[in-house]
Structures are given as C-alpha cells and as structure tokens.
Chains A and B, each alone.
Chain A
Amino acid sequence: DVKVTQSSRYLVKRTGEKVFLECVQDMDHENMFWYRQDPGLGLRLIYFSYDVKMKEKGDIPEGYSVSREKKERFSLILESASTNQTSMYLCASSLAGAYNEQFFGPGTRLTVL
C-alpha cells in the first residue's frame, strides 16, 4: 500500500514564525502536492511538484513556498505564519499522468495564534 506520512498531526505556532510541514511518500511517485482544506471551501491546491527540484504554483500559493530536494519528500514552508493560515494541510502523491489517483496523508492541523 502507498503510504504518505506527514510530520505532525497537530501544530500550534505564533504569528510571524517560520513553519515547516514535511511530507514523505514511500512509493516512488513522481508527483507530490500540498493542499489546504477549509470547511465549506473543499481542498485548494497550494503547490505541486512533478519532479525533484521542480515546482509549480497551485491556486493559492501566496504566503507559502515549497522544497523538493529528494523524490520522496516534499516540504511546505510558511515564511511568516499568519492567523489566516490556520487550516488543515494535506499532502498527496501520485504517479505521473493525469489519470492517476492521488494518495493522501493524514493531514496536519495547523493553528496560528
């Protein structure tokens, strides 16, 4: 089974802190994704990566950056956390190709105070 793990289930940070969310997948998937999930808004794509060191902006990249130095690991960085970034963050991975399903991690619930 594909396994996507995220470094923390719950995280509490203060406004202005730099926050790192880590995601690791164990199935050699080419694609990795970061979403945020908010009630009534569904999942919105922040960034995705289709190869090591490659990244593309999603629908809501402002205030975020990403890093993919190794194929299995995809990091989401909040350069200066703000209260409106309080959310559930989901990581996903998939094989290359538009018809392949994405496999999701358990999510990190981030609270910014």
Chain B
Amino acid sequence: AQSVSQHNHHVILSEAASLELGCNYSYGGTVNLFWYVQYPGQHLQLLLKYFSGDPLVKGIKGFEAEFIKSKFSFNLRKPSVQWSDTAEYFCAVNAASGTASKLTFGTGTRLQVTL
C-alpha cells in the first residue's frame, strides 16, 4: 500500500521568506504526484502535479516542486512567500495505472505567513 509523509505539520514564515515543504512517499511502482492547497474557508484545489517528463514542475502562484525518484520525494518550493499563501498544503500520490485516480494524501502542512 502506498503512503505519504509530510514531516512539517506547522510552518511559520515571514513574508518574502523562502518556502520548502517536504513530502516523501512509499510505493514501489510508478507514481503520479500532486500538491493540493486549501486556503481558509475555500475548497481544496490543485497547485501542481507530476506524472512524467521534467521532474521540476511549476504550478500556480509561483509554486514549484521537484520529483526526486531516488529519494521518493516531491518537495514543494516557493522562493518568496506572500501573506496570501497562508493555507494548508497537502501532498498526494497515486499509482500510475488504473482508471480511478485513487489518491493517498499526507497529513498536511499548515503554513502561516506573517507580515
């Protein structure tokens, strides 16, 4: 069975600081990887995803993530955070086969950006 670990549960940063949120997964086969974000009071929405090709993927709002297969990692990064990035971030993985994109989510990282 696949699993996802997000080691940072709560991160507090000042505006303009750089961000890196860790995500590690365990699964022996080929995977698709996702980062979702949940802003306060809003729906969960996709930030970015990786399923093949360039391991460095860019998403919305200046976020990017790098897939490192040898480390089973898919860390999320942003060079300079804004107050509006305050949200909860979830990493998710599924097996790259089958018809139903059954996702396994991490426990989430709550990011708080201070002015």
> Which chain A positions have C-beta within 8 A of B96?
98-99
> Which chain B positions have C-beta within 8 A of A98?
32, 51, 94-102
In this assembly, does B9 line the interface, its C-beta being within 8 Å of a C-beta of chain A? yes
In this assembly, does B45 line the interface, its C-beta being within 8 Å of a C-beta of chain A? yes
In this assembly, does B46 line the interface, its C-beta being within 8 Å of a C-beta of chain A? yes
Given the interface pairs A101-B34, A104-B44, A104-B45, the reply to whether A96 lies near B107 with Cβ below 8 Å is no
Contact B106 A97, beta carbon cutoff 8 Å:
no
Given the interface pairs A98-B32, A99-B49, A99-B96, the reply to whether A45 lies near B103 with Cβ below 8 Å is yes
Contact B107 A94, beta carbon cutoff 8 Å:
no
Task: Say whether chain B's binding surface is mostly helix, strand, loop, or mixed.
Answer: loop
Residue-wise, chain A 79-94 has the 8 Å CB interface mask toward B (1 for contact) of: 0000000000010101
Please, how many angstroms separate the alpha-carbon atoms of A83 and B39 in the complex? 27
What number of residue pairs across chains A and B have CB atoms under 8 A from each other?
A: 71
In this assembly, does A58 line the interface, its C-beta being within 8 Å of a C-beta of chain B? yes
Give the total of B residues in contact with A, Cβ under 8 Å. Answer: 27
Please, how many angstroms separate the alpha-carbon atoms of A33 and B43 in the complex? 15
Given the interface pairs A40-B107, A98-B96, A101-B34, the reply to whether A45 lies near B43 with Cβ below 8 Å is no
In this assembly, does B105 line the interface, its C-beta being within 8 Å of a C-beta of chain A? yes
Residue-wise, chain A 23-50 has the 8 Å CB interface mask toward B (1 for contact) of: 0000000110101000011111100101
User: Interface of B with A (CB < 8 Å)?
Assistant: 6, 9, 32, 34, 43-46, 49, 51, 90, 92, 94-108
User: Interface of A with B (CB < 8 Å)?
Assistant: 4, 30-31, 33, 35, 40-45, 48, 50, 56, 58-59, 90, 92, 94, 96-102, 104-107
